[in-house]
Homo-oligomer: A and B are copies of this chain.
Amino acid sequence: MKKIKTRDRILNTSLLLFNSLGEPNVTTLLISDEMEISPGNLYYHFKSKGDIVEELFQAYEAEMLDLLAVPEDADVPMDQFSFFLHLLFEAVARYRFLYQDLVNVLSRYDRLQVRFRRILKKKGEAFKVLCESFRRQGIMSIPEEELASLCEQLTLTVCYWSSFDTLSHLEDREAVDPGRGVYQMLHLLLPYLDDDEQDQLRLTSHIYYR
């Protein structure tokens, strides 16, 4: 039974509160209050609120870059792709405070902007690589121009699905079932797959739809 360092508790509590209330609505006072430590103590560990945000962002960035390191020339089967999507949505959900107030957060902590853009770009590239793998395997056929458009659409959907889903179906900012996002993403691919693969996917994608 190991005692968690205060510094880490601050990070955990902040992430929790940011995700449920939205980063702009969470004050340093609220964080320290929730943890039952003094505000001064919090500022002993972090010199500013922005530092907390940045450190959380760094963790997010690391997880994402790790996940997005897709091998160029592997033949990825469809079910592995679904799994990949699932991990992606889970990572996004864990740091959903970033996405819920994306423009706002990036405008106030502007050093994050370039880094976020880089991740976004990597997402698009990962989708490109994966679709090309599907094409090589002969289970997907799509004209070049439509491929670009599709990858943009996939990238956009990873970003905004959970906000959108919360907005249109739920009351609060609770975590959303990542499955619905995966389902939606798979349906973007669906029309470009060959017939066998389509039927297969129609059957399996229901697993994801709660």
Contact = CB atoms under 8 A, between A and B. Distances in A.
Given A22-B103, A104-B24, A187-B146, A160 B156 contact: yes
Interface of A: 22, 24-25, 100-104, 106-107, 116-117, 120-121, 146, 149-150, 152-153, 155-157, 159-161, 163-164, 167-168, 173, 183-184, 187-188, 190-192
Given A161-B156, A184-B153, A103 B191 contact: no
Contacts of A152: 184
**How many copies of the chain does the oligomer comprise?**
2
A153 B101 contact: no
A164 B159 CA distance: 9
B103 A188 contact: no
Nearest to A149: B187
A24 to B, nearest CB: 6
A190 B192 CA distance: 11
A25 B106 CA distance: 12
6 cross-chain pairs, A with B, having the tightest CB-CB distances, nearest first: A191-B191, A149-B187, A160-B160, A100-B103, A156-B164, A101-B104
A168 B121 contact: yes
Contacts of A192: 191
Given A163-B103, A164-B159, A168-B120, A153 B188 contact: yes
